[in-house]
Chains A and B, each alone.
Chain A
Amino acid sequence: MLKRLFMLIALVLIAILFFDVASNFTERSELSGISQYYVEQGAEELGAANLVTSVVVTYRGLDTLGEVTVLFISAAGASLLLRRRRNTNKKLVVEESSEIVQTTLSIMFPIIMLFGVYIFINGHLTPGGGFQGGAVVASALLFFMLARPNDSISHKLLMKIESLSGFTYVVLGVLGVILAGGFLDNRVLGLGEFGSLFSAGLIPLIYILVGLKVGSELGSLLQKFRE
């Protein structure tokens, strides 16, 4: 009972704090500082139509590398926790899903995959990008796992895709140091025509890598949970 009272008091105190912030908050009417610079100069400087992408991949590219690392570490941690003991290595046999689901899988799987790839290839032009596209790819893999519970996706292949794309990401970042202004600078390649698919230097390449990495990472995470 006493514990509950303390919880309630803590919650009320936090609520008072929040209320104070919320009631004194007024919507901003203009940009300030660095955002102003990004909005005014960002498109010209980096050649990407989607400003969020320029911020994520180039201006704060190091953060994104850290973010990819965090995702990798959490996937590794989860698979460490969920590893199977050798002696309990019996295959779980589940009933096959119905023909309708299997047929839907063979029609929808390539389409969902293609959609994911489309999202991360167009990350510098439209809302979307590597992480979102990777999540869509992983959802296609999840669909596969649900519809065909007895087949598994090659774990080795996923791991290879993941580590290769992570490695290439870092190599591209270092290329930026050598050929352009700094780590993960996207102006290694030409900026191209603004708003076309092949533009914005390295950004599409990096987002393709991030998309592949996130997709394979989430896929192997889902597979671990299924086992």
Chain B
Amino acid sequence: MFEFNLPLANIVLVTGFLLILSGLWAMFIHKNIIRMIIGFSLMDTGIHMIMVALGYITGGTAPIFDDAVDGMQMVDPVPSALVLTAIVIGLGVTAVMLSYAVKIHQAKNSLSIDDCAEQKW
């Protein structure tokens, strides 16, 4: 049951899952907003790793035509392109979250989520 066969894609996939779990854990247990944002970024990175792992082909090389890759099997270019999109959007979301954190800090003079009690339902 604990036997993973260990080609490259599996290692990357498992690492991605672990990163998602640790990111979720960080978001759950921390009260500090900045730490929650760091947890979000960890989770984001984990998702990217999983997507890249899903596109890997055994023995594949980067999908760029060059003399060096002549006739070699290429990895799937579509997940790479999607991850490129996902990274940029993750960056945008993180920027907005950080500016909210700055705003909260200005208003409450603290970064703890407990001080935002009026938002709780």
Task: Using CB atoms and an 8 Å cutoff, list the residues of chain A in contact with chain B.
Answer: 4, 7, 10-11, 14-15, 18-19, 21-23, 25-31, 34-35, 38-39, 42-43, 49-52, 54-56, 60, 63-64, 67, 70-71, 73-75, 77-78, 81-82, 125-127, 129, 131, 194-195, 214, 221, 224-225
Contacts and interface: CB of A to CB of B under 8 A. Distances in A.
Contacts of A4: 29
Nearest to B101: A81
B84 A39 contact: no
Interface residues of B, number: 48
B21 interface: yes
A81 B100 CA distance: 7
Best-buried of A38, A63, A78 by chain B (most CB within 10 Å): A78
Given A18-B21, A74-B95, A82-B102, A39 B89 contact: no
14 contacts: A7-B28, A11-B24, A11-B25, A34-B78, A49-B64, A51-B65, A55-B80, A64-B85, A71-B92, A73-B92, A74-B96, A75-B95, A81-B99, A131-B88
B62 interface: yes
Contacts of A75: 92, 95
A21 B53 CA distance: 13
A7 B91 CA distance: 27
B62 A127 contact: yes
Contacts of A22: 4, 10, 13-14, 17
